[in-house]
Structure 1
Amino acid sequence: MKIKLITDSASDLPLEFVKDNDIDFVPLGVNIDGNFILDDLGENFKMDEFYSLIRQGKMPSTSQANVFAFEEIFEKYVKEGYKIIYIGLSSALSGTFNSSVIARNSVLEKYNDADISVIDSKSVSLGEGLLVYKACELINKGLDKEEIVKFIENIKEKVIHSIVVDDLAHLKRGGRISGATATVGSILNIKPTLTLDNEGKVVVKSKIKGKKKAIKYLASEIKDNAIDLENQTIFICHADCLTEAEELKNIILEESTVKDVIINSIGVVIGTHGGPGTLAAVFIGKERI
């Protein structure tokens, strides 16, 4: 039986990769400037337009994917004879994954022979995307569904997110830091570094002064904590700061031997919470904090 790989738009994978590998995705949504936008990985609503609106002072809010959206996509591929693997946004950050669980149970009641696995990535943005990327590789190698699910479940808590946020105001609005901390940090040009813990929650790790030091910090995180670098594809995601992302890529390639480095924009859903200027490196490492 064929395997269908499904994710959601919070995975922030390059649209071309998703299309080339016949991966389907469930879109999350964003409300901004009086408009509701479905996150389509940048196909119709461009990322630079979104970040321009935020820089103009527009405050977006996000909307999780609902149960109906998952029921529709699961039922479609069950009818077509597929086994389904869905890899979703961390359940600690959104109700989207819970929607997928409810939808799976509903579809299984209608189709007793349906084979649907839902995986809580405990990751965000290209951390989630990295797991989808790995699952895609295994499908292309001909592994069966059970082997792929087991591999992803075993590796997901080794996906390391090293994140630097440029503007503390977005973290303040999301309740991650106090207003006083945001004000002082902005004055002193402090860049907080974030990561995800084993529950898939975002935690503040340290603080760095200045973007140049922050970029070097991200490169050092890979060098110090990644495993089997020679066979790894490193993922860099950015919120409208491509120049810094390319600078980070160059440092990684100068300091380490890696299989590949993929850069892509942080989408509108995750970008709502990090804000413009957010830069992150994602890789397989020894362990999360």
Structure 2
Amino acid sequence: MEMSYYREHSVHLLGMTYTLNGMEYDSASEKNLPIEEFYRQLREGGESKTAQVSLDKATSAFEKLVEEGYDVFHLAFSSALSGTYQSCTVAANDVMERHPEAKIIVVDSLAASMGQGLMLNYAVTLKEQGKSLEELTAIIEAEKLRFCHNFTVDDLHFLHRGGRVSKMTAIMGTALGIKPTLHVDDEGRLINVGKVRGRKQSLNWLVDKMGERIGSHKNEVVYVSHGDCEDDAKYVADLVKKHFGIKNVVIGYIGPVIGTHSGPGTVALFFVGDTRDI
């Protein structure tokens, strides 16, 4: 999501850090490495590593907001993919011990990338409708497993490096033009659910699975994210508009934290459906 969104809606972003070719960056900083440059360096063999939000960073952020008089609702990155949720939970409890009047609620989104962004947008809408902190939390907790994530990647090397596929699978899959298909499950894990042959078939799969899981749910907006392959993202967006009549499809880059593990050429589709199950 664009930094302008956070400013417009008074959302405080607690960013994870990543190290690319020995240089550390903060994904929440406007002085962050341009995303096109990040993917260029990955394509040229750059090594990137990510780090969770530290306890000290989370504590400092929460304490500042509390001292400014705010209650805090924090929507954390999936606990199955990072220790950030745990860090933020400990930080929240520490701050509330020192500030008994404070309210800090940390929710495990069980989501990632623009799937978490779609959930955040829903939470922002609820807040702007006047929902209390407790009401907002209850609704998000009840609905969060309806936020569906479908992914496909173009280069198996990055999934192998992250331990998602074996070296032999990566070599053979690349040689045969095999494209893995993945989703985020009910425990917030990124799961390999199948494979198809050919890029276009993998992009079609994203939309086909949306058709199976959207049910009767009406989506006002759907998100498509990509790892520096905007034309492929537009292809998926056009299919969504054609098949489901959804006019508002937001396209954006996969950020460097997720992009480190998924690599260039990844395309993901996020929507609200009846279930995440595939």
Scaled by the length of structure 1, what TM-score is found?
A: 0.92
1:115 corresponds in structure 2 to: 103
2:62 partner amino acid: F
CA distance in 2, matches of 1:104, 1:16: 26
Deviations 1:54-98 (A, max 9, x none): 100011010111011111111111112211100011011101111
Q: Give the 3-state SS of the residue equivalent to 1:152 in structure 2.
A: helix
Could you tell me how far 1:238 is from its partner in structure 2?
A: 0.6
Q: Aligned match of 1:67 in 38, 46, 55?
A: 55
Identity %: 34
Structure 2 equivalent of residue 212 of structure 1: 200
| 1:163 maps onto 2:151 in alignment | yes
For the residue of structure 1 that corresponds to 2:13, the secondary structure is: strand
CA contact (8 A) 2:25 2:32 kept: no
Instruction: Measure how far apart 1:127 and its partner are.
Output: 1.2
**Residue of structure 1 equivalent to 2:179:** 191
Q: Match for residue 127 of structure 1? A: 115
Match of 2:91 among 103, 112, 119: 103
Q: Is the 8 A contact 2:213 2:276 kept in 1?
A: no
In structure 2, the residue matched to 1:237 is 225
Report if aligned partners of 1:190, 1:207 keep a CA contact under 8 Å in 2.
yes
Note the C-alpha offset of 1:228. Answer: 4.3
Could you tell me which residue of structure 2 aligns to residue 4 of structure 1? none
Q: Displacement of 1:175 after TM fit? A: 0.8
Which of 49, 66, 88 aligns to 2:37? It is 49
Aligned to 2:170: 182
Asked if 1:246 is matched to 2:234, the reply is yes
- Alignment partner for residue 282 of structure 1, among 260, 270, 275? 270
Which residue does 2:258 correspond to in 1? 270
- SS of equivalent residue, structure 1 residue 44: coil
| Aligned: 1:142 with 2:130 | yes
TM-score, normalised by the number of residues in structure 2: 0.96
Indicate the residue corresponding to 1:9 in structure 2. none
Compute the RMSD of aligned alpha carbons. 1.3
CA distance in 1, matches of 2:29, 2:118: 15
| Residue 202 (structure 1) aligned with residue 186 (structure 2) | no
Alignment length (residue pairs): 277
Deviation (angstroms), 1:271: 0.2
Instruction: Please state whether the residue corresponding to 1:24 is helix, strand or coil.
Output: coil
Shift of 1:259: 5.5
Q: 3-state SS of the aligned residue for 2:233?
A: helix
C-alpha displacement at 1:158, in angstroms?
1.5
What is the identity, as a one-letter code, of the residue corresponding to 1:173?
R
Alignment check: 8 A CA contact 2:151 2:183 kept: yes
Do the aligned partners of 1:227 and 1:284 also contact (CA within 8 Å) in 2? Answer: no
Aligned AA (2:104): I
* Superposed displacement of residue 43, structure 1: 5.2
Hey, what does 1:6 align to over in structure 2? none
Partner AA of 1:63 in structure 2: A
Within the candidate set 148, 151, 163, 2:139 is matched to 151
1:58 and 2:69 equivalent?
no
TM-superposed CA distance for 1:42, in Å, is 6.1
State how far apart, in whole Å, the 1-side matches of 2:265 and 2:29 are. Answer: 18
Following superposition, the deviation at residue 49 of structure 1 comes to: 0.3
